[in-house]
Structure 1
Amino acid sequence: MTWTSRARRSLVAGLLAMTVVGAGAACGGGSGDGDQDQTLRVGMPIRMLSVDPHGTAISDRSTLTLALHLFDPLVASSDGEITGRLAESWENVNDTTTRFTLRQGVTFHDGSPLTSADVKASLDRLFAASTALAPLFATIEEVKAPDEQTVEIITSRATGSLLTNLSMAYIGSKAQIESGEIESRPVGTGAFKLEDFRSGERAHMVANESYWDGAPKYERLEFQEISEDAARLTALRTGEIDVTYALPPDQLSQVRGFDQVTVESGPSATFYVIWLNNARKPLDDPKVRQALWHAVDFSSIQENLFGESAVLAKAPVPQPVFGAAQLPGYTYDPQRARQLLAEAGYPNGFSTSIQWSANCCANIRPLVQSILSAWKEVGVNVEMQEKEAGQWLDDLLALDWDMNIQDGVVVTQDAEFVLGRLYTCAAKRLGYCNEEYDRVIADASAELDPQERQRKLQRAQEILWADAPGAWPFELTASAAWRDRVSGFGPPPTNVPDFRGVSLN
C-alpha cells in the first residue's frame, strides 16, 4: 500500500470513529479507530538518513530529529540554559573533571536499566567516530564509570562548552553497541520506541509508556519523507499529514490560506553558507574569496527570493545564538570584485564548480542561479552540480569539491558549535587554516567566564569574516504549519522539531 492510500484510509477511519464516540479510543494497543486518532503524522522536508545516534549522519538534522525522540543525552541545552536529562546532577570536581550522577529508575525500551556502563560505551563510541561532531569532543580524554550511577568525564583542559556539547551526545545501550544493532534497530531511553525505519522513506515510532519524564500524550509518531514542497503542502492541506516545518518562503502566504491550519514563524539558528575550498586554486587566495563576496547583491536576492523568510547575515553565526558578533557586511561592489581578481592574478576571471545536496533547502536552485549570474558578470564561470544527498555528503567530507552551498544550523545555540567544529586547522572541513583563529577559538573554548568567552567567540568571527573562507549571506526564519488538532508545537529554531510535548485534540 502506498503512503498516500494509507493516509487516505486513515482519514476515512477517523470519520467513522466520529459516529462511535469513544468506541475504540479507550482501548490501548489495538488496531481500531482510536489508534488512528492518536497518530501524529509529520511531513519531513529533508531526507531521513539514519537512526544511529553515533553514526556519520548524526550531524544531519533528520538524524538529530529521530534521535531526539528515541534517545536522551546526559543534559539538554536551550536558550543558553543547561537542564538535566539522564544526568540528575553534575559537579566540577576541578577544571578538567566533571562528575555526573545518573537519574534513578531510567530504563531502555527493552526494559533493561540504564547504568554508567551504557553512558561510557555510548560516549566512547561517539568520541571515536569520525563524524562532523568529533571536534566538539576533542578535549575529552577519558570517560570513567566508577559505579553504576556515576560518570566522570576528564578533559585535557578546561572546556567552557562541555555541557552544551554533551547535549548532542545521545546515550544508547552498551549491549546494542557491542552487537551492532544500534545501527539499524536502536533501543533508547527516549519518549518513543522505534517500530520501523526505512532510510529515505519513513520512521514509525510508538509511545514509550514507561518514559521517565512522563509518557507522550498520543500513541504513535510517524515521520514521512516528503522532500518535494508542493506534495508536502498538499498533504498538509488535505490532512494526510498533521504538521510540517521549514516552509518554502514563496508559499507562506498560500499556506496561511489553508483551512484549519496554523502557520507561525520566528527567529532561528539556521543560516545559508557558501563554502569555498581553500585548498584549491584560486580559492586559496583571500582576495579571490573576498571578490566573490563583493560580486553578489545579496540584499536584492534576499528581498526577491526570501522576503520575510530571511535576513542578511551579520556574522558567521545567526544573531539569536550565544556569542554571535555583529559585523559590517561586504558591500555589493562588482568593480571592487574585478579589482581584487586582477590583483590576485585573474583579470579575466576563472572557471570552477559549485555543489549542493538535492534535498538541501528552500529556493536552492534559484538562489544558486542568482549567485552564479552575478559571478559571471565579473568573469567567474561556475558549473552547477546538484548531487544526491549521500553522494554530496561523501564528497563534502572528502573535500572533493570547489564550492559548496548549504544551509546550516547551530543546534546547540552556542557559537562554538560552528566556530570550533568547522573552521579550525584540525577540522579540515574546507581547506582553511589560520593559526591566529585557532588560538582565539581555543582560548574561547577553555574560558569558563561567559562574558569573556563571548568576547573571544566574537573575535574569532571577526577573523573569519575578514579571511572569507566562505560567505554567509542569510539568516533564515524558522517556520512551521500544523493542523488544528495539534497543540503544543511551534517553529523549531534549529529545524530539529520536538514533538514530545505535543497533544492531539
Structure 2
Amino acid sequence: MHFRHAFLSVSVAAFVAVLPVSGLAETPKDQLVIGLSMTNLLTLDPAEAVETESFDVLNNLYDRLVEMDAKNPSTLVPGLAEKWTVAEDGTITFTLRDGATFHSGNPVTSADVVWSLKRVMTLNRGPASFLRELGYSKENLETLLTAPDARTVVLKPSEAINPEIILYTLARTVGNIIDSKTAMEHQKGEDLGKAWLTNTSAGSGPFVLRRWSANDAVILDRSETYWRGVPPMRRIVIRHMPESQSQRLQIENGDIDVARSLSASDIKAMGKNDAIVIQKVASGGFYYLAVSTADPIFAKPEVRQILTSLIDYDGIGAAVVGDYGVKRQVPVPADYAGAIPDPGYTVDVSKAKELLAKAGYPDGFKTSMLVLSDSPFVEIATAIQGTLAQAGIQAEITQGNGTQVYGKMRDRKFSMIVGRSGGQMPNVLGAIQAYTSNFDNGPKSTQTASLAWRTSWDIPELTKLTSEARSEINAEKRLALYKELQEKFLSSSPPLFAIAAAAQPSAIRADVEGLVDQQSRSPQWYYVSKTGQ
C-alpha cells in the first residue's frame, strides 16, 4: 500500500513538471504535449473501445499483426507479423517477428495473439462487432484461429470473404495484441483482466501508459525496449482542454505542441502564425444526424424522408463544419473508388411542411436531440435545430460527454443525435457498412458498433447486400456492388443522414516533425520528433 501511494505521488509530480507556466517556456524537446477534449475517451481496453479518442492512445500502447502505413493509410505494412501469406481458400498465415516483447518483458507469442482476438469475442463488447461482420464468433474462432507454434498464427475465413478486409480489420484497434500472461494476473472473476485494462496497458507498443485520469490527463512514457527502436519522444502528455480558446492561447505561447479540439475561427486565425502548422487529414468518417426508428414518430419512413429537406448541407458545410470536413450527403468519401455523387438534397421548408401534414403532423411535433458538447457537434446540432423549427419540429438539444451521448445511443434510448462515425478501412465498404449492416436487430444483439443497429433499423436486404460486397473478390463486380449498396441505402428512407466527410484539423507547433493523423484519428507518435532535439 505504501508503494502505491509513493508511485501515485511520483506520477503526479512528473505530470506537473512537464506543464510549463504559460508564456514562460516551451515544452521540452523530448516531450510532446497535446491539448484536446477528452470527453469521449471512455476506456483503454482494446476489447471495449470504439471511440476515436481512445484509438489515439491505444494505437501507441499496442501493436497489431499488420498496420496501416503511417503516411499512407491505404497501404498495409508488417507489424508484429513480419510477413503473411494468403492461401486460395482465404486462409491467412502470419509469421511473427522474432524478438518483440511486451512492456513486462514477456515475449510476444502466437498464444498472445490468439488469446487477444478470442478475448474480443468472449467479452462481446463494441469491437466484437467488427469481427462478427467477418462471420466470426466466440464459438467458431476456437477452430478457425490457431497457433501451430510460438511464431505462427493461422486464421481461416468463416465464409467467402475478401482477405484484404480481414487484414484491414486486424489493422484497427480490434487487432491490438495484449500481454495475456500479465492481463490474466489481474483477472477479477472471469473478466479476462477487463477491469484492470480499462485504465492501464499491457502492450508491446512504443509507449507505456503511466497515468490516465478521466477528463484530466493521459501520460505515456516511451518503451526503452521497443522492437522498432527507442522512440525520439521520451514522454507524451495529453491534457483535457475542451475550450478552443484555451488551446489556441497555450499553443501560441508554446505551452502545448498540438491543439486538436479547435473552433473553425481559431483554426483560421492561427493559419497566419508562422510558428504553427495547420494540418487537415481526412478521417474516412462522417458527421451525421441519426434518428431512432424505435421512436414512434421516426419509425415512419415518410417522416424520415422529410429530414433531407430540413438539413442545410451547404450552410453547415461552409459556415459550421469548415476545416472539420467537407459537405457530403452519401456516407462515403467522394474520392473513394466506386463512390456515387451526392443526390443534391437542399433545404425546402415548404415541401417539408406539406409532407409533415400528409404524415399526420400538420403542426409539427416535439422531439429531443443529443449532441457532444464539443465543436463542431454543437454548432451542427444548433443549425439543424433552426431549420427543423421552421417546419414546426421543436427539437430540444441536450449536450453531454461521450458516455452520456453515445452511451444512450448504444442503449438505443434516444430520438435524435448528432454524432461522428469512423472509417473502418479506406474503401466504400469500410465507410458505409456501419450504416448498412444489421444482422441482428434484437435488443441483445452483439452488433453494438453498427449505427444501423443503434437506430433500431431492421434492414435484411441491405445487410445481405453488404455481405455480398464484403465477399466479392472480383474488383469490377465489387465496385458494382458498392454502387448498388449506396443507392439502395439512400432510397430506403434511412434514419442516418451523412452531413459532412470528417477531417481532423490540428494545429501543430512548427518544430514538431513526423506527426501525421490516420483514419479514425490514429497517429503514430513513434515517428514524432522535434527540430533541434
TM-score, normalised with respect to structure 2: 0.84
Asked if the contact 2:47–2:126 (Cα under 8 Å) also holds between the matched residues in 1, the reply is no
Change (3 A) 1:451 1:236: farther
Structure 1 distance, partners of 2:517, 2:200, is 29
Change (3 A) 1:279 1:424: farther
Change (3 A) 1:59 1:338: same
Deviation at 1:472, TM superposition (A): 1.0
| Cα-Cα RMSD | 2.4
Per-residue CA deviation, residues 68-104 of structure 1 (Å, 9 max, x unaligned), is 1110111123543222211122222343532211111
Partner in structure 2 of residue 119 of structure 1: 113
Partner in structure 1 of residue 413 of structure 2: 400
Deviation at 1:5, TM superposition (A): 8.1
1:92-491 equivalent positions in 2, closer than 5 A: 92-138=86-132, 139-140=135-136, 141-142=140-141, 143-160=145-162, 161-168=165-172, 169-178=175-184, 179=186, 180=193, 181-258=196-273, 260-307=275-322, 309-321=324-336, 323-359=338-374, 362-425=375-438, 426=440, 427=447, 428-466=453-491, 467-490=493-516
Deviation at 1:9, TM superposition (A): 5.2
Deviation at 1:200, TM superposition (A): 2.0
Change (3 A) 1:103 1:410: same
Q: SS at the partner of 1:196?
A: strand
Matched, 1:62 2:53: yes
Query: For 1:52, which of 21, 45, 48 is the aligned residue?
Result: 45
Change (3 A) 1:422 1:124: farther
Structure 2 distance, partners of 1:210, 1:409, is 32
Deviates more, 1:178-187 or 1:461-470: 178-187
Matched, 1:72 2:72: no
Asked if the contact 1:268–1:318 (Cα under 8 Å) also holds between the matched residues in 2, the reply is no
Asked if the contact 1:316–1:465 (Cα under 8 Å) also holds between the matched residues in 2, the reply is no
Deviates more, 1:448-457 or 1:396-405: 448-457
Structure 1 distance, partners of 2:411, 2:96, is 38
Deviation at 1:499, TM superposition (A): 1.8
Q: SS at the partner of 1:473?
A: strand
Per-residue CA deviation, residues 430-480 of structure 1 (Å, 9 max, x unaligned), is 111222211110101111233432332332221222222221111233322
Q: Which amino acid aligns with 2:150?
A: E
4+ residue segments displaced more than 4 Å: 1-6, 9-15, 320-323
Deviation at 1:115, TM superposition (A): 0.4
Asked if the contact 1:165–1:417 (Cα under 8 Å) also holds between the matched residues in 2, the reply is no
Per-residue CA deviation, residues 346-385 of structure 1 (Å, 9 max, x unaligned), is 22222211111224xx233232222112111112111111
Q: SS at the partner of 2:35?
A: strand
Deviation at 1:275, TM superposition (A): 0.7
Deviation at 1:136, TM superposition (A): 1.7
Structure 2 distance, partners of 1:306, 1:10, is 30
Structure 1 distance, partners of 2:116, 2:435, is 23
Partner in structure 2 of residue 37 of structure 1: 29
Structure 1 distance, partners of 2:34, 2:219, is 10
Partner in structure 1 of residue 84 of structure 2: 90
Partner in structure 2 of residue 23 of structure 1: none
Partner in structure 1 of residue 5 of structure 2: none
Gaps of 5+ in 2: 1-11, 187-192, 441-446, 448-452
Change (3 A) 1:452 1:348: same
Q: SS at the partner of 2:156?
A: strand
Asked if the contact 1:480–1:492 (Cα under 8 Å) also holds between the matched residues in 2, the reply is no
Deviation at 1:485, TM superposition (A): 2.1
Gaps of 5+ in 1: 16-35
Structure 2 distance, partners of 1:308, 1:192, is 30
Deviates more, 1:293-302 or 1:63-72: 293-302
Deviates more, 1:411-420 or 1:228-237: 411-420
Structure 2 distance, partners of 1:341, 1:89, is 58
Q: SS at the partner of 1:413?
A: coil
Q: Which amino acid aligns with 1:136?
A: F
Deviation at 1:6, TM superposition (A): 5.3
Deviates more, 1:145-154 or 1:325-334: 325-334
Structure 2 distance, partners of 1:202, 1:309, is 24
Deviates more, 1:313-322 or 1:219-228: 313-322
Structure 2 distance, partners of 1:298, 1:325, is 17
Asked if the contact 2:183–2:202 (Cα under 8 Å) also holds between the matched residues in 1, the reply is no
Q: Which amino acid aligns with 1:388?
A: N
Asked if the contact 1:202–1:224 (Cα under 8 Å) also holds between the matched residues in 2, the reply is yes
Deviation at 1:405, TM superposition (A): 0.6
Q: Which amino acid aligns with 2:494?
A: A
Deviation at 1:296, TM superposition (A): 2.6
Q: SS at the partner of 2:103?
A: coil
Change (3 A) 1:491 1:458: same
Structure 2 distance, partners of 1:54, 1:6, is 31
Asked if the contact 2:372–2:419 (Cα under 8 Å) also holds between the matched residues in 1, the reply is yes
Deviation at 1:308, TM superposition (A): 5.0
Per-residue CA deviation, residues 383-430 of structure 1 (Å, 9 max, x unaligned), is 111123212232111100001111222143233334333432324221
Asked if the contact 1:356–1:387 (Cα under 8 Å) also holds between the matched residues in 2, the reply is yes
Change (3 A) 1:491 1:250: farther
Structure 2 distance, partners of 1:14, 1:355, is 39
| Count of aligned pairs between the two proteins | 481
Change (3 A) 1:423 1:384: same
Q: Which amino acid aligns with 1:306?
A: V
Q: SS at the partner of 2:34?
A: strand
Q: SS at the partner of 1:200?
A: coil
Deviates more, 1:254-263 or 1:401-410: 254-263
